[in-house]
Structure formats: structure tokens, C-alpha cells
Amino acid sequence: MGRTSKDKRDIFYRLAKQQGWRARSAFKLLQAEETFHLLDGVTRAVDLCAAPGSWSQVLSKHMYEPRTPEEREQVKIIAVDMQGMAPIDGVKQLRADITKESTAKEIIEYFGGQKAQLVISDGAPDVTGQHDRDAYMQGQLLLAALSIATYILEEGGSFVGKVYRAGDISSVYAQFQRFFKDVCLFKPSASRNSSIEAFVVARQFNLPDGHIPCNLITEWYNQPTEWLKPITQEPKQINLPFVAYKGDLDADRTYELDEDYKYEEAVQKPLTAAYQDVLKKTREVSIKYNSIKIIHSEVDNANQT
């Protein structure tokens, strides 16, 4: 397969490079913005699981670039990820794990007493291929993002977060319905139909009376008993309203390359990758015992002795 093959198979991958986005995921947020106008008037936003940074680029383009130098001083965008990413204008970076309470505290510190109007999370755990396990891990990451939102989101604020529609995701939806007046599922056309990926779009945040922000996964016991019932008992299936973005381009289709097509490299290669630690450890491992002899056949065996 040549290097142009992915450009044919994935129109959003090709367009991302042409338009200067670091990842094709940019189109998912752009399509959410076109549908829900979540960025209108927003000056404070949190991008969780942000690397390599295409969603932060979208935030910067809408919230920072169009403003005057004085207005830009009011803009606060923070991008959080365990991996490093190249700088983006107007975006403060925090290298941290979103499942840790200390991360929520660092974000709050950055906002210096103010709250965010928007929290977005495109987080994905390392996929194992075991669908139920992957969906469960994704659900937990989404709950971690919601937990951070309960600390930092202002009344009336919005949230967008990636979800895998599989397994028992209803208990996660139930949590969103507690904190937001309006919750739906969004499927951008940049997300393949064949993928179980979708996005929870939650609007009109409202911290219920008596709720003290906490980690909703590890400190579930802090929640009132009547809230825990639908989570701990056999949960009812919750079907959220479903909104699909119908664009002209189909993420599952192969598009021929135009005559004036020119191959372009990725806009920004990842600075660090999750597998780097593993590679480093492999290089450091030394074999302490006698080397292993590989014997290919009885004849080889006989020749060697």
C-alpha cells in the first residue's frame, strides 16, 4: 500500500492535513460546533485528553485568534493530557492524568477562582480489541471527565465527551442527566458509521443542591443514596436523544484523488506516544542468562554438536 492510500480511504484525514489540523478529530468538534453553537461567547474552556491538539486548535481558532490583544487577555483555554503536545496560541498546557484529583485542582488553580463555560473530552484509553472492556474503560474515562467538570464548570455551562455506545453505558448517561438539564448523543459524519464512537453533548450544567464535587468513580459513596439506586441496582436502559450531523462527506467512503492532488505530511507528529515507555524499557532490558540457541532441524542439531 502506498502512502497515498490513507488519503484515498479517509477524506477527513486528507482534509485535516490540507487545512492545517493536527488530527482528523478536529472535524468532529467543528461539526458539533456547527450543530450546537457551544463556543458562542465562550472565553474559558478546558480540553481534556487533548494531544496531539486538534480540538485545542479549534478552541484557539474560535476563542483566541479572532479577538483583539486586550480581549485575548480574558481568554483562558487549558489543554490536559498525559502526553506532551506542541504549543498552540492561547492554549495553556498541563501534562497530567485526568483521573487524578490533583489534576482537577491544577485546572481550578489556572482559572484563578473563575469557572469554565465549556469542558470537552476526546479521551480514549489504549484500545485492546476486547469491545466490552474497551467500552467499559472509555465509560470510566468519561466519568473522570465529568468529575472534573463538576469541579470547574459554571452554572449553565456545556460539556462534550467521547463515548462508546456499547455494554452498560446507561449508568454513565444517568450521571450526566443528574448534572445537566439537556443531554443528547451526537454522531458527527467525521466519525465512521462502522464505529461505536459517539459524543455526549450535555448543556445547562446545574450542580444539584448538596452535591460536593468529587471523583464520581472512586468517591461514589459521597453521593446521596437516592442517586446511587439507579447506578447500583439493575440500571434501566437509557436512550438519549440522538442527533446526527449529515454532511456531504462520508467517513466510510473511498474518494479518488484529484488531478492536482499533492501528498502532504501530517501537520504535527505526536511529541510523545503512549508506547514510548515500552520501547525505552525494551532497550534497557538485558539478558542475564546464557543466550538461547535456536535449533531449526534435527540435521542442524546434529551439525552443531
Chain residues that interact with ligand SAM, rule: CB under 6 A: 22-23, 25-26, 49-55, 81-83, 97-99, 122-125, 141
Residues making up the binding site for S-adenosyl-L-methionine: 53, 55, 81, 97, 122
Bridge partners, 116 (sequence order)? 153
- Least separation, in Å, of the C-beta of 192 and ligand SAM? 14
| Half-sphere CA count of 98, side-chain side, radius 13 A | 32
CB 103 within 8 A of CB 148: yes
- Least separation, in Å, of the C-beta of 53 and ligand SAM? 5
Q: What 8-state DSSP symbol labels residue 221?
A: G
Residues making up the binding site: 53, 55, 81, 97, 122
Cell numbers representing residue 171 in the block: 449508568
| β pairing state of 180-187 and 197-205 | antiparallel
DSSP characters over 183-197 = EEEEE-TTS-TTS-E
- Least separation, in Å, of the C-beta of 103 and ligand SAM? 7
Residue of 28, 162, 187, 246 marked catalytic: 162
CA distance 256 to 225: 57
Looking up cell 448523543 gives 185
Residue among 55 and 199 whose Cβ is closer to ligand SAM: 55
Residue among 119 and 141 whose Cβ is closer to ligand SAM: 141
- Least separation, in Å, of the C-beta of 169 and ligand SAM? 18
Cell numbers representing residue 224 in the block: 446521596
Is 105 one of the annotated active-site residues of the chain? no
CA distance 96 to 79: 10
Residues identified as active-site: 162
